[in-house]
Amino acid sequence: MELSQAQIEQFREDGFLFVEGFVELPLVERAGARFEALFGGAFETGLQPDEWNWQAGRDSPELTRQICNGWKADRAVARIVLREDIGRACAKLMDWPGARINQDNVIWKPPGAKSLGFHQDDSYQDWVEPAQMVSAWIALDDTTADGGTLLYAKGSHRWPVAPPIAQFHAPDDFTLEFRQAAEEVGEGDCTLVPVVLRKGGVAFHHGRTWHGSGPNHGEAPRRSVVAHCMRADARFREGKVGTIYGRYKRFGSTEMEESFFPVLWTEDGGRSAFLDDYLA
């Protein structure tokens, strides 16, 4: 899939871009079929993901379920989020020389599940240099405006980076920090756009774009996988080590190891060598 110049310009104007039919349906179906096992703790590769925020029997069924770096635990997820065309698209949208995976999200919002707070992804990237991210949010189910889908604040990628929000999962007011940020920049009437896509569609969004999602009032689940990408030449920030992903920093070096942060695409043909074997 190649993005057109018109699509790139639309992304840079709005801070997001919708593309239908980006991922083939057999891959979408295969990844969706793995959700029960993943959240039940059955990991196909034998590796536990870096973050496992919802577990059956431990957490409330009203919470949105999330795993981070499911690509390490399950190759059905990896075959989507580690795609070369996702890396190429993310790099083109941001005018980068290449893109590598920062982390992925595996997200499951069943009917009745509560909201996720409005935030900017770049607020959580102070351990990366440069602290920039772009994301590809891939729908594994058809999404609807009342089904707890993502909402984007149009044009908010031009706003300053705000601090991390107080509560990410099931806040009482899921737009609170967004409204405060909008008032500070004089954009109190900012337009919110719901992500309405058929399964296999992708929504790209800039790391500064404010986004979140309300409760799922629909009758179907809202499942998605998200590839969060950074520049291919990104490095750890000296003196600032993330509490989770800092475990992958080598002593005496700020270089990122491709085993943990694979390069998806570079303009000179680069891609982490192990990916072909891993995804085969």
- What's the pLDDT tens digit per position in 42-93? 999 999 999 999 988 889 999 999 999 999 999 999 999 999 999 999 999 9
Report the C-alpha gap between 207 and 132 in whole angstroms: 6
CB 66 within 8 A of CB 106: yes
Tell me the CA end-to-end span of the chain in Å, nearest whole number.
20
CB 39 within 8 A of CB 55: yes
pLDDT at 47: 97
pLDDT digits (tens, 9 = 90+) for 7-36: 999 999 999 999 999 999 999 999 999 999
Which residues lie closer than 8 Å to 163 by C-beta, 6 or more apart? 123
pLDDT at 240: 87
Nearest to 125 by CA among 133, 134, 117: 133
Report the C-alpha gap between 68 and 243 in whole angstroms: 14
Question: Which pTM was predicted?
Answer: 0.97
Domain at 5-279: CATH code = 2.60.120.620
Tell me the average confidence (pLDDT) per consecutive run of 10 residues in the chain, 280 residues long: 95 98 97 96 96 89 96 98 98 98 97 97 97 98 96 98 96 97 96 98 98 96 98 95 90 96 98 96
The bridge status of strand 202-206 relative to strand 134-139 is: antiparallel
Q: Where are the domains of the chain?
A: 5-279
